[in-house]
Amino acid sequence: MPIKSTTNGNKINISIGERFDFSNHKEFREAYRNTPEGSANEFIIDMSVTEYVDSSALGMLLLLREHAGSEQANVSIKNCRAGVNDILTVSNFDKLFKIS
């Protein structure tokens, strides 16, 4: 499953496929950069089907956070499977993102 994004007002929903790795970097970047600057102030990353996340995926999430405003960023990562949630927690991403 490729990365899919939908926009609803000022909210962008990005759905990640089974694998989130370097091969997705262009699709992922386009999912949030193809919106007019400042038009989105909330980003929701849906990882309900994601089974694999590597270090480049973590880097892509950090780039999204920077794009969204760093400390003021409103980025949520939702529906994580146990293995993905463990990786995010060990990487201290729970301190940078809202994870549920």
Q: Which pTM value belongs to this model?
A: 0.91
Check residue 36 and give its pLDDT: 64
Mean per-residue pLDDT, 24-35:
90
Q: With pLDDT > 90 as the criterion, what percentage of the chain qualifies?
A: 77
State which residues form the domain around 36.
4-99
Check residue 37 and give its pLDDT: 61
Q: Give bridge partners of residue 13 from the DSSP assignment.
A: 6, 44
Mean per-residue pLDDT, 24-34:
92
Check residue 69 and give its pLDDT: 87
Select from 58, 55, 64 the least CA-distant residue to 34: 64
- Asked if residue 15 lies in contact with residue 46, where contact means CB atoms within 8 angstroms, the answer is yes
* Number of domains making up the chain: 1
DSSP 98: E
Q: What CATH number does residue 70 fall under? A: 3.30.750.24
